[in-house]
């Protein structure tokens, strides 16, 4: 009698484990996005890294490393890199326009191309995230034709693909001057290729979703609308809409141009848009659920008075 009873216990335990595993997987994971303010970026970044420590996060995204009023020096870029490495969570960097656009030398000449080149050399040399905990990533620069674009990356967590794409705020750095848009045009080619690659990879592996981090909001271009300039996000917006339409999962775009006070994801079909702004944005990923992505309540820095 003992053997059948023991066999029953083993089978029962195995079945219970099978049913328990999906329940654990459905708990999902959290990640956070931090954006640079307009001033005192060093203090802000250090405070946000300290704020990360007690949180249960799979990883963190930083949108940019430089405030617009700070110098565009190699020393500053290296200092920010050292700060990013202090994170006790894997930390990925999404390049912001303020990191390089608007940079000038002592006589006032535009040096944004040189500064973008140095940013790439200083900040994007490794194939892992910043921080004390290693997490692998893939860079577009691994492809010989696009070796100049190490800032475009992707990595995977569970059944979700995450990626960074260099789409700077202020009209995607499109300039209304003849012969001055080489950087924009070459980056547009690289970004289009990268987006195609991301969606192909996610579709082939039957992933639940794709999250893309960028600086500018490709779906709401205020700067072009106000000035009447050519829309620098037009091609990317059309491509994202087309690719999302052909993808079976959810697509979430997280940008750094905050407009609304309340943090929310705006959905149109399977394409969602969220803004990091200058606030901490925490997202809950729940694989297997219909919603998949939801905004979590951020850790309180200060208690606000009730209305």
* Separation between Cα atoms, residue 207 and residue 158, nearest integer Å: 9
Give the integer Cα–Cα distance in Å for 209 and 226.
34
**pTM listed for this prediction:** 0.87
Q: What's the pLDDT score for residue 261?
A: 63
The angle subtended at Cα 119 by Cα 122 and Cα 145, nearest 5°, is 95
Q: Which CATH architecture has domain 28-296?
A: 4-Layer Sandwich (3.60)
| Three-state SS sequence of 210-250 | EEEECCCCCCCCHHHHHHCCCCCCHHHHHHHHHHHHCCCCE
150-172 confidence digits (pLDDT tens): 999 999 999 999 999 999 998 99
Asked if 221 and 202 count as a contact pair (C-beta separation under 8 A), the reply is no
Tell me 269's DSSP state.
T
Determine the pLDDT at residue 23.
37
β-strands 160-164, 250-255: how paired?
A: unpaired
What 3-state DSSP class applies to 121?
helix
Question: Above 60 in pLDDT, residue 41?
Answer: yes
Is residue 80 a contact partner of residue 98, using CB atoms and an 8 Å limit?
Answer: no
* pLDDT tens per residue across span 197-225: 999 999 999 999 999 999 999 998 766 56
With CA atoms as reference, report the closest residue to 230 among 186, 304, 290, 180.
Answer: 180
């Amino acid at each position: 009698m003992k053997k059948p009873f023991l066999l029953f216990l083993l089978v029962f335990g195995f079945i219970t484990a099978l049913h328990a595993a999906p329940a654990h997987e459905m708990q999902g994971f959290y990640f956070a996005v931090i954006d640079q303010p307009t001033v005192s970026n060093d203090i802000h970044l250090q405070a946000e890294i300290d704020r990360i420590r007690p949180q249960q996060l799979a990883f963190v995204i930083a949108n940019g490393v430089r405030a617009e009023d700070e110098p565009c020096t190699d020393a500053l870029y290296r200092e920010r890199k050292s700060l990013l490495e202090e994170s006790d969570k894997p930390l990925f960097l999404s390049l912001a326009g303020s990191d390089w656009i608007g940079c000038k030398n002592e006589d006032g000449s535009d040096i944004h191309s040189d500064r973008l080149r140095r940013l790439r050399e200083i900040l994007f040399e490794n194939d892992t995230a910043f921080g004390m905990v290693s997490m692998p990533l893939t860079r577009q620069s691994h492809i010989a034709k696009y070796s100049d674009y190490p800032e475009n990356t992707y990595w995977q967590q569970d059944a979700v693909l995450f990626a960074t794409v260099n789409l700077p705020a202020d009209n995607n750095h499109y300039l209304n001057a003849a012969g001055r848009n080489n950087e924009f045009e070459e980056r547009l080619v690289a970004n289009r290729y990268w987006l195609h690659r991301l969606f192909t990879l996610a579709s082939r592996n039957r992933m639940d979703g794709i999250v893309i981090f960028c600086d500018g909001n490709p779906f709401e271009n205020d700067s072009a609308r106000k000035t009447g300039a050519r829309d620098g996000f037009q091609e990317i917006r059309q491509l994202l809409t087309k690719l999302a339409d052909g993808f079976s999962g959810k697509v979430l775009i997280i940008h750094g141009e905050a407009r609304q006070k309340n943090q929310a994801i705006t959905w149109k079909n399977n394409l969602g848009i969220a803004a990091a702004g200058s606030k901490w944005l925490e997202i809950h990923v729940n694989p297997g659920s219909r919603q998949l992505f939801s905004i979590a309540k951020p850790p309180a820095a200060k208690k606000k008075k009730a209305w």
